[in-house]
Amino acid sequence: MTRISSSFYFERMKAELGRQQTALARNQEQIGTGKKLLRPSDDPAASARLLDIKQSVASLKQYRENGVHAEQRLGMEETTLESVTELLQRVQTLAVAASNSAIQSEETRAAYAAEVRERLEALVDLGNTRNGDGEFLFSGFKGKTMPFVKQGDTVIYQGDQGRPSVHVGPDREVAVGDSGDAVFMRSRDGNGQVTVGAAAGNTGTGVIDPATVVDAAATTTADYEVVFTSSTTFDVVNTTTSATVLAAQTFVDGSAFEFDGLSVSISGTPANGDRFTVSPSRSVSVFKTLQDFIDTLDAPNSTVQEKTRYKQDMASVLSNLEQAQDHMLRTRASVGARLNAVDTTDDDSEAALAQLSVTMSEIEDLDYAEAISQMQFRLTTLEAVQKTFVNLQNTTLIGQLRF
């Protein structure tokens, strides 16, 4: 009985000694790493939650990296569009000066044309701006393709309609670019709603003024012609349907007349057979607007008819330049809104990361004061167990010798 009892207690004491040594080693490892969870088996539920949190943290960090990329791309686009706007403002200043026929000469028009040519080249260069990755800013998804090339007096767009985007938050995707087609090729002509013009063969001095919309509900998508049947009468014809909208109207210099929700006036003295067009505004590239300005400045300007044509064309150039600037301002506003969205989302991500960091710390970080106290307790316990174990060994040995 004595041998069995001593062996039993010996094994129990040996096992307890092993448990205390293991616990102390784990305690020391916790203090060394600063983590209370050393392996998933320590607390499976807490470890699973910690894994979910770490995955969320990784996603949020990736969103923030995407946000940095978005800010860089959008910031470069904003800077480029600011330069485009300044360029257009300068061209408009030249157009206003060139429209004053009283102070114009062949030399001044040639000087204006030379500067606008330089501005057009600069505009193409701005359209071909590259981002920090070496890709073209306005090529859409075709970042390696130069978006704009000149073919004679025409600028061709070679990119696509894509808008690259990135996720900057779990529920937020932001476009980090705009296609060159949308930015440079989709301005509106005229006043943005209606555009007017004069036939190339007109012989009078009539100039059609910008049309205005007086009843949007009555407007159509049709094209119209104001046709002078004499120097004092005119018809308005819907050229889309060939229907006469107004017939045998008496012409009054500068007096407005209305049809299909539009108000139109013509100044000067039109001749019999002169024609003027009124159409819905259409897309026109900013490059073409500058080229039209150059062509107008280069055109002959000595006869009455040529001077009338110059006046009409300069009015169109001014209207189109104003629309181009408005288009750029709207695009810049869109870029600014996206930058604000990135900033706001980044602030949200930063706050979420801070909260997740607190939660992670609560789950895995060690309370050093508590851990040191536990280690001291385990050391004391281990010493006691070791003494008991030694005493038990000695007692067992003596008993065996006596036996």
**What mean pLDDT, rounded, does the chain reach?**
88
Look at residue 201 and tell me whether its pLDDT is greater than 60. yes
pLDDT of residue 382: 56
pLDDT tens track for 15-27: 665 565 665 555 5
Q: Which of 216, 192, 69 is nearest to 133 (CA)?
A: 69
Q: Exposed/middle/buried for 353, CB within 10 Å: 0-12, 13-18, 19+? A: middle
Tell me the CA distances in angstroms from 149 to 31, 87, 127, 199, one per residue in order: 66, 19, 10, 31
Question: Rounded CA gap, 331 and 81, in Å?
Answer: 8
Look at residue 271 and tell me whether its pLDDT is greater than 50. yes
pLDDT tens track for 79-128: 999 999 999 999 999 999 999 877 789 999 999 999 999 999 999 999 99
Instruction: Pick 378 or 333 by higher pLDDT.
Output: 333
Q: Which amino acid is at 251?
A: F
Look at residue 1 and tell me whether its pLDDT is greater than 50. no
Long-range contact set of residues 343-346: C-beta below 8 Å, sequence gap at least 24: 343/71, 345/63, 345/67, 345/168, 345/169, 345/172, 345/174, 346/64, 346/67, 346/168
pLDDT of residue 51: 84
What is the arithmetic mean of pLDDT over 121-143? 96
Look at residue 368 and tell me whether its pLDDT is greater than 70. no
- Domain boundaries along the sequence of the chain: 37-192+285-365, 194-280
pLDDT of residue 48: 80
Share of the chain above pLDDT 70, in %: 79
pLDDT tens track for 273-285: 999 999 999 999 9
Look at residue 375 and tell me whether its pLDDT is greater than 80. no
The tally of CA atoms less than 13 A away on the side-chain side of residue 149 is 5
Supply 170's token pair: 């779990």
pLDDT of residue 50: 76
pLDDT of residue 273: 98
Look at residue 2 and tell me whether its pLDDT is greater than 50. no
Instruction: Pick 4 or 357 by higher pLDDT.
Output: 357
Question: Rounded CA gap, 135 and 180, in Å?
Answer: 13
What is the arithmetic mean of pLDDT over 232-245? 98
**Predicted confidence band of residue 44 (pLDDT cuts 50, 70, 90):** confident
Q: What is the 3-state secondary structure (H, E, C) of the chain?
A: CHHHHHHHHHHHHHHHHHHHHHHHHHHHHHHHHCECCCCHHHCHHHHHHHHHHHHHHHHHHHHHHHHHHHHHHHHHHHHHHHHHHHHHHHHHHHHHHHHCHHHCCHHHHHHHHHHHHHHHHHHHHHHCCECCCCCECCCCCCCCCCCEEEECCEEEECCCCCCCEEEEECCEEEECCCCHHHHHCCEECCCCCEEEEECCCCCCCCEECCCEECCHHHCCCCCEEEEECCCCEEEEEECCCCEEEEEEEECCCCCEEEECCEEEEEECCCCCCCEEEEEECCEECHHHHHHHHHHHHHCCCCCHHHHHHHHHHHHHHHHHHHHHHHHHHHHHHHHHHHHHHHHHHHHHHHHHHHHHHHHHHHHHECCHHHHHHHHHHHHHHHHHHHHHHHHHHHHHHHHHHHC
Look at residue 369 and tell me whether its pLDDT is greater than 70. no
Least confident range of 17-31, 233-247, 263-277, 317-331: 17-31
> Is residue 136 within 8 Å of 143, Cβ to Cβ?
yes
Supply 104's token pair: 């114009």
pLDDT of residue 372: 63
Supply 70's token pair: 């978005």
pLDDT of residue 61: 94
Q: Which amino acid is at 119?
A: R
Task: Rank 42-56, 222-236, 371-385 by mean pLDDT and report only the highest.
Answer: 222-236
**Predicted confidence band of residue 358 (pLDDT cuts 50, 70, 90):** confident
Look at residue 391 and tell me whether its pLDDT is greater than 50. yes
pLDDT of residue 90: 98
> Is residue 221 within 8 Å of 310, Cβ to Cβ?
no
Residue 328 Cα to chain centre, angstroms:
13
pTM above 0.95, yes or no: no
Share of the chain above pLDDT 90, in %: 72
What is the arithmetic mean of pLDDT over 307-321? 97
What is the arithmetic mean of pLDDT over 294-307? 96
Supply 41's token pair: 């088996």
The CATH class of the 37-192+285-365 domain is: mainly alpha
**Predicted confidence band of residue 343 (pLDDT cuts 50, 70, 90):** very high
Instruction: Pick 398 or 239 by higher pLDDT.
Output: 239
What is the arithmetic mean of pLDDT over 347-365? 83
Which residues are CB-contacts of 202 (< 8 A; sequence separation ≥ 6)? 270, 271, 274, 275, 276, 305, 308, 309
Residue 242 Cα to chain centre, angstroms:
44
What is the arithmetic mean of pLDDT over 261-265? 98
What is the arithmetic mean of pLDDT over 144-173? 96
Q: Which of 108, 177, 150, 160 is nearest to 288 (CA)?
A: 150
Look at residue 30 and tell me whether its pLDDT is greater than 60. no
Question: Rounded CA gap, 58 and 385, in Å?
Answer: 46
